Each structure stands twice: as structure tokens, then as C-alpha cells.
């Protein structure tokens, strides 16, 4: 069982290097640095438990966290991912409805909740950033509803890849525009991806190879995929808006 603790922590978080926070006014960042600590987690360590009321607000500085819910039969089901710049913890009220665990080695910035809430009331730029984070969560929830409604596993994988392109755009070590099309890193294991997409690991492998054989993607490494036909990938996913949300096929890019 994962332990509910982090490795040695440190004061501050160098927020100028943290996605979204780097865009805040320096005065806002300085106020946040004063109430911030950095926690380091090994893969598999618990960050927060379901039902827990956190006394901090968290933000992923590096690495990946997975959100999990326990099913009635005792199995853990991955219900989402938190990546660089994503925030977690309920501002002002409420307990978590899912557990959070490190999917990889990760660094997390935490802000003491009470002073964070005070800053939120006084600083419009911070309030706007938190509001955008909430709106992005709603966008992602709608995207997942579309992805999971696809009857074919290959369609769910196609939608997942487009969502990754949207979320990772601008993070150089996770997404890059290659000569033959975008390349994106898969941040979790095939077993976790199977849980996330509601299928089995062997079906995930078959789905990736089916998309590769159709010419829609190229498997560069097990954890890195080249996107070769965006239009076909969006059609496979059953929703052109997923490609538009990624800013890859015309139209404006959704803020993530």
C-alpha cells in the first residue's frame, strides 16, 4: 500500500518555473512563495486520500499524479490525470471525492489553504487563474465523456492522444511539433491507461497497433507517439472538437 507522506520537503517552489504561475504578477508570486512548500513523491506514494479535507491547495510542479476511486469490489479505478500546472484541493470547502497518487516521481507545490484563500479574495489575477483551472476541469470532464462513449478501444485511444496534445502543448519534454507531425509522451503505464479508458491492457496494445497500421500514428517508443493524421484520428475518436481543442486543426487553441 502506498504511504501517505512525501520525501524531504523544502520551503518555496520557484513559481516562475511552474506552469500558469509563471504568468502571474511578481507581487502575487511573492505572496504565494511565502506560504508554499515543495513536496517530492516517489511513484506509488499517496498524495491525498479520498474523503480527506486538505489543509493545503496543491499544484503539480513536475511529474504526473493519478486520481483514483475505489470500486464496490475493492478495485482501484483511475479516473483522471494531473499534469504540470494542474491544481487540486477544494478552495473554501469540501473533502476530496477521489484519492491522489503519484503515477511517476513527482514534485508538488502546496499552499497553506487559509492564507491562500485570503490571497484569492484580495488578488484578482490569482482568482482568475483558479477559475480558469476549474473551467478547464469541466472541459476535460466533457472530453472524457465523449472519449469513453466511443464503443471502439481504438477510438478511445485516439481521443486520449488528442487530449494529451491539448494538455501538453507548450511543455517541451512532453510535446513537440516534429517534422511529420506532433509527438506526445504517454505519461502512464498501459495498465493505468486501460483503467482510465475502461478496458484491458492487451486491448490497449491492440488499439495502438491498429491506429499505427492505419497510418494515423507512429509508435516511436512505448511511451512516445507520433501523430501522423490528425483528421483521421479525430474521426476515429468520433469528435472533431477534440482536435480543435488541441489547436491542431484550425481554430483557436483551448486554454489548458
Both 157 and 239 in a single domain? yes
d(CA 37, CA 238): 42
* CATH code, domain with 228: 1.10.10.10
CB 190 within 8 A of CB 149: no
* CATH code, domain with 12: 2.60.120.10
Q: DSSP states of 137-201 as a string? A: HHHHHHHHHHHHT-SSHHHHHHHHHHHHHHHHTT-TTTEEEETTEEEEE--S-HHHHHHHHTS-H
pLDDT more than 70, % of the chain: 89
- Domains in the chain, number: 2
Classify residue 142: in a domain, yes or no. no
**pTM given for the model:** 0.79
Q: pLDDT by residue (tens digit) across 152-185?
A: 999 999 999 988 887 777 676 778 887 888 898 8
Amino acid at each position: 500500500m502506498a504511504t501517505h507522506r512525501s520525501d524531504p520537503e523544502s520551503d518555496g517552489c520557484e513559481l516562475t518555473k511552474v506552469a500558469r504561475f509563471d504568468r502571474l504578477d511578481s507581487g502575487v508570486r511573492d505572496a504565494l512563495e511565502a506560504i508554499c512548500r515543495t513536496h517530492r513523491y516517489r511513484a506509488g506514494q499517496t498524495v491525498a486520500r479520498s474523503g480527506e479535507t486538505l489543509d493545503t491547495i496543491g499544484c503539480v510542479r513536475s511529474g504526473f499524479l493519478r486520481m483514483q476511486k475505489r470500486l464496490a469490489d475493492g478495485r482501484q479505478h483511475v479516473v483522471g490525470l494531473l499534469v504540470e500546472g494542474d491544481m487540486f484541493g477544494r478552495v473554501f470547502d469540501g473533502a476530496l471525492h477521489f484519492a491522489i497518487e503519484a503515477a511517476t516521481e513527482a514534485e508538488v507545490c502546496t499552499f497553506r489553504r487559509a492564507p491562500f484563500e485570503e490571497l484569492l479574495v484580495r488578488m484578482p489575477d490569482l482568482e482568475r487563474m483558479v477559475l480558469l483551472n476549474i473551467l478547464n476541469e469541466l472541459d476535460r470532464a466533457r472530453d472524457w465523456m465523449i472519449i469513453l462513449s466511443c464503443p471502439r478501444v481504438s477510438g478511445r485511444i485516439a481521443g486520449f492522444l488528442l487530449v494529451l496534445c491539448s494538455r501538453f502543448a507548450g511543455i517541451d519534454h512532453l510535446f513537440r511539433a516534429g517534422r511529420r507531425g506532433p509527438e506526445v509522451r504517454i505519461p502512464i503505464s498501459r495498465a493505468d491507461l486501460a483503467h482510465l479508458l475502461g478496458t484491458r491492457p492487451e486491448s490497449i496494445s491492440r488499439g495502438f497497433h491498429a491506429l499505427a497500421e492505419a497510418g494515423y500514428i507512429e509508435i516511436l517508443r512505448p511511451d512516445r507517439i507520433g501523430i501522423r493524421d490528425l483528421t483521421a484520428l479525430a474521426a476515429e475518436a468520433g469528435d472533431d472538437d477534440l482536435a480543435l481543442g488541441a489547436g491542431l486543426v484550425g481554430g483557436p487553441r483551448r486554454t489548458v
